[in-house]
Structure 1
Amino acid sequence: MHLNNEISKSIKDFITRSQQYRDSYTPVFYRINNPEEETKLKNLLIEKPFIQVFDTINNQLKDLVKGLNPSVIHNETTINEAINRYLQNKEILKYGVWVYYPWLEKLVHILDEEEYILVRTNRNKHKITQEEQDLLRQKKIGVIGLSVGQSVSLTLAIERGCGELRIADFDVLDLTNLNRIRSGVQNVDLKKTVIVAREIAELDPFLKVTCFDDGITEANIDRFLSENGQLDLLIDECDSFDIKISARKKAKELKIPVLMEGSDRCTIDIERFDLEPDRPVLHGFVDHMDMSVYKSLKTMDERIPYIAPVTGIETLSPRMKASAIEIMTTISTWPQLASAVTYGGGITADISRKILLGELNISGRFFIDMDELISDKKNESTKIEEVTEQKMTVTEIEAYIHNNNLGDDNGEIIDESIIETLIKSASKAPSGGNNQPWHWHYQNNTLHLLMDRSAVGAYLDPDYISSYISLGAAIENLLLEASANGLEVKWKFTPEHLPNHVALFRFKTGYNADELDKKLAAQINSRHTNRKHGLPVELNNDDLLQLKNLAETIEGVNLQWLIDDEQKKALGDISGSTDLLRIFTPKAHQDFISREMRWTQEEIENSEDGIGINTLDMSNNDQIGLRLIKDERAVTFLNKINGGSAFRKTAIRQFQSSTSIGLITLPDASSLNYLKGGMAAEKLWLAAADLGYQIHPVNVPVIFFYKQNFQKENDLSLANNRHISELHEKFKELFNITNNIAEVFLFRLFKADKSERRTIRKPIIKTLSFGNK
């Protein structure tokens, strides 16, 4: 116990002594050829006899003499003689300067400033000429942010790429920083500015370093840029987005060039405000945004639209994209590697020198990506060929109808404008990936529904089951709209002609629609897919019963509700797992990013189909996550690290926020039953809209279950088949259903605000044709 107390007291004494130098980074100079300075040094050594003393002045003088006369070859004798001649009988102990580092409690004997700089930069020649070195000595550089900025600052100091360095950071060193910041564990919890300034002072005590320990603020930005002389170059390595913007605006006003290096792919941004005073900040990436509101934004989701254009979400490396998806699930922040930070520091210092010497005058964003510059030879891309059929021409449709005896004219003549009204409503039906797989053809008083084979056959449309559901929904809309317009419809499926010909319809005027049909038809235009989280509302069993009864008016349909919270959570996990499987399956992933999703407004308008990312009711964070998985390499790596749990968590939250989860089933998995299931789904969807509910189809699980159990050519791997089988067993247990039942339509039912944006539809001229009368 006594020994422990002694140790504890000794440690406390050492801590107390070291605290007085905690924020110290300025060395003390003693030129002892001056008697007063000599006395001060003697007093220091008496007061602190434990100070370590290092005297290598003789070695430094050797380098100085050699550098001054590089053509002379010396041996040990001649070099000492040359040193003595150079000293001119001056006492070597008093030559130069003694430098005391309080935080190290070390005293070092070195050459004085001019000679020290001459010797230390001697090996720069002639990569940097003496004239260039002298010019750089007059330059002032400011560095904001000292994670990547630490490597930049030290490299600049080592090369002596400036005469003054201003460094700014409000943070202290954490243990997690030591994966990329070259420092010692003894510096944890020390100000980053102090650490960097000390390292520079230990390297070159004559290089002027000014620290801004509070980082850059509105109060000190002007001092940082201009006090004691304006900066010649601003290097931005800070994490604070509003500081990036405000510092650039000030730099632009003062015509100070700005340089930024991002460690991922060594992204280089150069903004020559000195040469281009009208140049937009950050290359114009944020010109369309009101940056004045950024500071008032509270959440990351609010800030993402401002940050994303600057970081370049699409241009991140695959591993960074995968890592970004994992933030706040398996990792807590953006990753950085020492290798990238180190060579980024070197590249930044190199570019800084060229800018300051007038050798580089360009602005822009550049990438020095080591993975692209130096890598193993890659195999040719194994991009999956997409096989799509051509849409049938009107002539081919007419021939098909004639050859298959589908063209009798028993129906009443209906005006083409009425037919167009019916088809406009039919086309408002939902479809998987918004593929709109229908084509309508009116001929000889008969309306024919054909499958548009050019729109179908995606990975998640095995045996066209998703398209059949969509076609069934379109049929339901057509029937309801016809009823509301006073038309009696005689119609039938044509199963013997599937998948080309789906159904035919004949009309008769003078029909009196019942009130239910009118009510449902009135919801056709407002019905839409809503992917929001549900609002907390009390469950209304009467509503669920009404929707069930309505759906089951379609022959063979059964609708089940799942309302237990734990069951909804389990179902959400199943759904999220199949979402991940979809992402990790190359063909499904390719379909998702190129066939289903529309990433820009231009893509939406050009294709007139697919799902616009702006219609997904997603947070900004989630939209970024979706954009990140566009990169096949990022997805491959995400799969390798068993990542993507965020997708499961999102699905679980969605399911738990729902009033109920519904499942439409039919007795067997025939094409006709999927058509019927689509009719039932649309009928209940319209009724749910009338009751104020929202619906979100989540059919990915049941499609994978179909692929495993019924698809004619199952392309799933053995491992994926096993995984799907396990998920399916849990699913069947939740809904208490047996094998071989057709699980047609799985959906969330909930209350929420309507979606602000809707998916686009093709113009009717592309989905309706008229034949010869």
Structure 2
Amino acid sequence: MQSQAHPILNFEAQINNTKQLNTLYKPVLFNTKNSTEKQNLADLLANKPHIQIFDCIESQIEELIKCLKPGIPPTELKKVAENHRGSTPLFDYGIWVYYPWAEKLVHLLDEEEFVVVRTNRNKHKITAEEQTLLSQKKIGVMGLSVGQSVSLTLAIERGFGELRIADFDELDLSNLNRIRTGIHNIQLQKTVIVAREIAELDPFLKVICFHEGITDENIDAFLTENGTLDLLIDECDSFDVKISAREKAKALGIPVLMEGSDRCTIDIERFDLEPERPVLHGFVEHIDMSVFKTLKTLDEKVPYIAPVTGIETLSPRMKASAVEIMSTISTWPQLASAVTYGGGITADLSRKILLGSLKISGRFFIDIDELIADEVPSPEPIEEPRNKQLDPSELNTYLSTHQIGEDTKGDPISDVLIHKLIASAGKAPSGGNNQPWHWHYKNGTLHLFLNKGVSGAYLDPDYISSYASLGASIENLLLEAAVNELGVEWSFTPELFPDHIAFFNFKGKHVLSEGEKNLAAQISERHTNRKLGMAQEANIADLDQLKAIIETKEIGLHWLTAAEDKTVLGDISGQADLLRMFTPAAHEDFIKKEMRWNQEQILETADGIGINTLDLSNQDQIGLRLMKDERAVEFLKKIKGGNAFKYLALKQFQSSPAIGLITLPQHSPLDYLKGGMAVEKLWLAATALGYQIHPVNVPLIFFYKNNIQELNDLPEESRKQIFNLHQKLKHLFKITDNIAEIFMFRIFKAESSPQRTIRKPLNKTLSIGTA
């Protein structure tokens, strides 16, 4: 008769293989009341005399007696324990548990008695009946970072009968900022680590590992094999798995629970109670998540990630961190404190769901920073919004008082023609698309007023940006008049600045030139384009032609084409953009007054810059949305972050064949008005040549604030930074201190922007006065 191989020796042969040892997570149980198992244990001890042995079975039996008979006097405890054990030798009482990965042998009560003692202090937070019910439940946990804390907490409470855990990853050193385990486990599978830790606190709990994570091939087994899950807990990083697992869970009627460690965001989806409930509360219904796994870049993935994570509901520090991803950090940050209490909260909710005491679905936040925080001083009272429209009756009174242009009254023109003129004038560019013009036609004279209700933002000091916009609008008006063969006599009214800007009388017939015709044809085509330019060299002939169109004795146009110069300018622009974000008043203007974050806002105000018009990548657009939170911006400033803004400016400048700068001799309102006219003429001419223009005026406005504006709130640190940036720019363009930098821009070839900024209807920017 052939002898059988000794089972314990076979086992020893297996665990002596290091690779196999690193995959073991199930302990070996020896019941020494069984002679074969007793011999196996003896063989193990003989072969491995160095094994650590932990035998405190007597104290466990005594603790069992205290659990079964809470009122027993301490003096009788030992005697009752001995009676309970009866004739069974201590060595054979209960079971012995061997942990091969730790070379430890532990003497324990058997499962029934072990569970009595282990769960005794759960009572009556969890009743005996509830504990029994939980012991019959099957839970699946996908992802073992936050999922490790969840799994261990569930195990400590004995909140399940079977736990399926899935993660394809190994432990990295960087994971130890949030995963409670030892350094000796680095490069061990996370599933093995968690299963071992559960086995070390309760060897009777059933844990099934999916070492390859969740895949298309095994997801059905994860959800249904050996019985359908009673609860799916999602803590995985893969967004396509999040959705596909939910779709299957929905079909099977499995409730889903997810905890995001940031702000302890909780998602509960009771597909068992609401079979028609949309996955993830409907946040992803508008996108096809099936293509996610085919996407390569973060920018491609962002539109799919954002609805799942709730980008705008992130904590301020997480928003700042999101901006820094792939700049100063490589992935989403998590903290052990958040992971730990997230694990506790998830286990608590799991128990309530499984016991039927919680039936709600939705997204919830248990934000410690909001629940427990220092008292914040009440904000300053918010000023009532300024009137954004000028009152025609007040304008009539103003004109009657000042008698502007009365000596050169023009010929009356039709309402149709007036509307054509103002429609073209309204297509001019303006800072933040604030459209600061108001046209008033009275007694044959057209008047241009500055609408101060929409002007004077932080980056419109002394109305310089608005003056340039008004100049551009005047240029469009004159070109439209020329196309309609209208003779125009007009004049600025500097003595009335900043209220009244200019008046226009229409007299006689104008002979249209070919140049005027070509420029006017581009009024509707001209737009701001923020895309990256196509790789190409500067066409010097085109740059010279544009220079010849606008340059005069007063107006200068300077070009930079060298790659190193464009890199320096890109850095100057990026630093200025970041300074804008880090200056509270400028940030508030940008976020609340300039930007329009959705179509509803765009249509409601008919001004501002729609985020859809910025030609931004998905990633950059999300980054901009994150900057809406002033607390996130404040923290970003604190950590000296925000390099993503610099990188964007740098890429834009480096992709442009040339950077232009328009200058005038002085920083007077009249110079900015004239500069605005030159800007529009150049922009229209560039459009006719097939070029795109991107204004980059934030640095110039900070230079003006630092050097010219009498009252500004720039801190000393910012003033030094701005001064240094200005010195660099003047050196590059070879201009002197007394020159006014009116307009800086990128010029490049690219596809037109598909989305354009909105314009106000004429009844908001034109009024007809009474005689």
TM (norm. structure 1) is: 0.97
Kept in 1: contact 2:15–2:21 (CA 8 A): no
Q: What do the CA deviations read for 1:137-188 (whole angstroms, capped 9, x no partner)?
A: 0000000000000000000000000111000000000000000000111100
How far apart are the structure 2 equivalents of 1:382 and 1:640?
Answer: 23
Secondary structure, counterpart of 2:670 in structure 1: helix
How far apart are the structure 2 equivalents of 1:234 and 1:741?
Answer: 67
Q: What do the CA deviations read for 1:734-754 (whole angstroms, capped 9, x no partner)?
A: 111111211100100111111
Residue identity matched to 2:435 = Q
The one of 175, 185, 188 aligned to 2:186: 188
Kept in 2: contact 1:407–1:444 (CA 8 A): no
The one of 256, 265, 268 aligned to 1:267: 265
Give the C-alpha shift of residue 52 in structure 1: 1.4
Give the C-alpha shift of residue 20 in structure 1: 3.2
Match in the other structure for 2:230: 232
How far apart are the structure 2 equivalents of 1:389 and 1:242?
Answer: 49
Q: Does 1:539 align with 2:518?
A: no
- Cα distance 1:15–1:508, how it changes in 2: closer, same or farther (>3 A)? farther
Residue identity matched to 2:250 = K
Give the C-alpha shift of residue 388 in structure 1: 3.3
How far apart are the structure 2 equivalents of 1:576 and 1:228?
Answer: 58
Residue identity matched to 1:35 = S
Give the C-alpha shift of residue 392 in structure 1: 2.7
Q: Structure 2 matches for 1:510-529, cutoff 5 A? A: 510-529=509-528
> Which stretch has the larger CA shift, 404-413 or 528-537?
404-413
Match in the other structure for 1:493: 492
Residue identity matched to 2:424 = S
Kept in 2: contact 1:666–1:677 (CA 8 A): yes
**Misfit runs of 4+, over 6 Å:** 13-16
Match in the other structure for 2:424: 425
Secondary structure, counterpart of 1:436 in structure 2: coil
Q: Does 1:119 align with 2:122?
A: no
Unpaired segments of 5 or more residues in structure 1? 1-12
Residue identity matched to 1:704 = F
The one of 361, 365, 385 aligned to 1:367: 365
Match in the other structure for 1:96: 94
The one of 723, 726, 749 aligned to 1:725: 723
Give the C-alpha shift of residue 72 in structure 1: 1.3
Kept in 2: contact 1:391–1:453 (CA 8 A): no
Kept in 2: contact 1:576–1:647 (CA 8 A): yes
Residue identity matched to 2:74 = H
Q: What do the CA deviations read for 1:266-304 (whole angstroms, capped 9, x no partner)?
A: 000000000000000000001111222222222221111
Residue identity matched to 2:742 = V
Give the C-alpha shift of residue 410 in structure 1: 2.3
Q: Structure 2 matches for 1:396-411, cutoff 5 A? A: 396-408=394-406, 410-411=409-410
Kept in 1: contact 2:15–2:100 (CA 8 A): no
Kept in 2: contact 1:18–1:103 (CA 8 A): no
How far apart are the structure 2 equivalents of 1:298 and 1:20?
Answer: 35
Kept in 2: contact 1:407–1:443 (CA 8 A): no
Match in the other structure for 2:467: 468
Q: Does 1:54 align with 2:54?
A: yes
- Cα distance 1:475–1:695, how it changes in 2: closer, same or farther (>3 A)? same
- Cα distance 1:384–1:712, how it changes in 2: closer, same or farther (>3 A)? farther
Q: Does 1:440 align with 2:439?
A: yes
Give the C-alpha shift of residue 395 in structure 1: 0.8
Secondary structure, counterpart of 2:660 in structure 1: strand
Q: What do the CA deviations read for 1:100-139 (whole angstroms, capped 9, x no partner)?
A: 1111111111011111111101010011000000000000
Percent identical residues: 65
Q: Structure 2 matches for 1:538-687, cutoff 5 A? A: 538-553=537-552, 556-687=554-685
Match in the other structure for 2:479: 480
Give the C-alpha shift of residue 386 in structure 1: 7.2
Match in the other structure for 1:502: 501
- Cα distance 1:390–1:422, how it changes in 2: closer, same or farther (>3 A)? closer
Count of matched residue pairs: 758
- Cα distance 1:387–1:736, how it changes in 2: closer, same or farther (>3 A)? farther
Kept in 2: contact 1:264–1:340 (CA 8 A): yes
How far apart are the structure 2 equivalents of 1:295 and 1:18?
Answer: 35
Secondary structure, counterpart of 1:32 in structure 2: coil
Residue identity matched to 2:51 = I
Give the C-alpha shift of residue 382 in structure 1: 4.5
Match in the other structure for 1:700: 698
Give the C-alpha shift of residue 381 in structure 1: 2.4
How far apart are the structure 2 equivalents of 1:551 and 1:71?
Answer: 100
Residue identity matched to 2:469 = S
Secondary structure, counterpart of 1:366 in structure 2: strand
How far apart are the structure 2 equivalents of 1:564 and 1:712?
Answer: 36
Secondary structure, counterpart of 2:625 in structure 1: helix
How far apart are the structure 2 equivalents of 1:517 and 1:386?
Answer: 44
Kept in 2: contact 1:401–1:407 (CA 8 A): no
Match in the other structure for 1:8: none
Match in the other structure for 2:10: none
Kept in 1: contact 2:405–2:503 (CA 8 A): no
> Which stretch has the larger CA shift, 528-537 or 710-719?
710-719
Q: Does 1:454 align with 2:453?
A: yes
How far apart are the structure 2 equivalents of 1:462 and 1:384?
Answer: 21
Residue identity matched to 1:67 = C
- Cα distance 1:417–1:470, how it changes in 2: closer, same or farther (>3 A)? same
Q: Structure 2 matches for 1:62-211, cutoff 5 A? A: 62-75=62-75, 78-211=76-209
Secondary structure, counterpart of 1:209 in structure 2: strand
How far apart are the structure 2 equivalents of 1:545 and 1:452?
Answer: 36
Match in the other structure for 1:5: none
How far apart are the structure 2 equivalents of 1:668 and 1:144?
Answer: 66
Give the C-alpha shift of residue 694 in structure 1: 0.4
Give the C-alpha shift of residue 73 in structure 1: 2.2
Kept in 1: contact 2:14–2:20 (CA 8 A): no
- Cα distance 1:15–1:647, how it changes in 2: closer, same or farther (>3 A)? farther
Coordinate RMSD, CA, aligned:
1.5
Residue identity matched to 1:57 = I
How far apart are the structure 2 equivalents of 1:375 and 1:88?
Answer: 58
Give the C-alpha shift of residue 714 in structure 1: 2.1
Kept in 2: contact 1:384–1:587 (CA 8 A): no
How far apart are the structure 2 equivalents of 1:45 and 1:629?
Answer: 63
How far apart are the structure 2 equivalents of 1:148 and 1:292?
Answer: 25
Give the C-alpha shift of residue 413 in structure 1: 1.8
Kept in 2: contact 1:252–1:277 (CA 8 A): yes
Q: What do the CA deviations read for 1:236-258 (whole angstroms, capped 9, x no partner)?
A: 00000000000000000000000
Give the C-alpha shift of residue 552 in structure 1: 1.3
Kept in 1: contact 2:662–2:675 (CA 8 A): yes
How far apart are the structure 1 equivalents of 2:97 and 2:416?
Answer: 95
Q: What do the CA deviations read for 1:569-605 (whole angstroms, capped 9, x no partner)?
A: 1111111111111111111000000000000110001
Give the C-alpha shift of residue 542 in structure 1: 0.6
How far apart are the structure 1 equivalents of 2:686 and 2:440?
Answer: 31
The one of 708, 732, 746 aligned to 1:748: 746
Match in the other structure for 1:9: none
Q: What do the CA deviations read for 1:72-109 (whole angstroms, capped 9, x no partner)?
A: 1213xx22211111012111110111111111111111
How far apart are the structure 2 equivalents of 1:366 and 1:741?
Answer: 57
How far apart are the structure 1 equivalents of 2:435 and 2:388?
Answer: 15
Residue identity matched to 2:420 = T
How far apart are the structure 1 equivalents of 2:381 and 2:93?
Answer: 72
TM (norm. structure 2) is: 0.97
Q: Structure 2 matches for 1:358-397, cutoff 5 A? A: 358-382=356-380, 385=383, 388=386, 391-397=389-395
Kept in 2: contact 1:474–1:679 (CA 8 A): yes
Give the C-alpha shift of residue 354 in structure 1: 0.4
Give the C-alpha shift of residue 235 in structure 1: 0.2
Residue identity matched to 2:34 = N
Secondary structure, counterpart of 2:79 in structure 1: helix
